[in-house]
Copies of this chain bind each other. A is one copy, B any other.
Amino acid sequence: MKESLEEIIQTIYLLPEQVLEEVLVNFQHLEYPKNYFLLKSGKPCKHLWFMTKGAARHFYTNEQGKEMNTWFSLDTQIIVDTTSFVKQEPAHESIQLIEDSEMYSIEYAALQVLLQKHHSFALWFIKLVELHYVAQIEDRIADLQFLDAKKRYQKLINLNSGITNRVSLGNIASYLNITQETLSRIRAGKL
Residue of B nearest to A177 (CB): B145
Q: How many copies does the complex hold?
A: 2
Kindly identify, within residues 106 to 123 of chain A, every residue whose CB is under 8 Å from any CB belonging to chain B.
115-116, 119, 122-123
Kindly identify, within residues 70 to 122 of chain A, every residue whose CB is under 8 Å from any CB belonging to chain B.
70, 82-83, 86-87, 92, 115-116, 119, 122
Q: Give the CA-CA distance A41 to B41 in the complex, in Å.
A: 38
Number of interface residues of A (CB under 8 A): 31
**A134–B83 contact, CB under 8 A?**
yes
Asked if A142 CB lies within 8 Å of chain B CBs, one says: yes
Contact of A141 among B125, B133, B134, B140 (CB under 8 A): B140
Interface residues in chain A, defined as those with a beta carbon under 8 Å from any beta carbon in chain B: 60, 62, 68, 70, 82-83, 86-87, 92, 115-116, 119, 122-123, 125-126, 129-130, 133-135, 137-142, 144-146, 177
Interchain residue pairs with CB less than 8 A apart (14): A60-B146, A68-B145, A83-B134, A83-B138, A86-B130, A86-B135, A115-B123, A115-B126, A116-B123, A122-B123, A125-B126, A137-B137, A137-B141, A140-B141
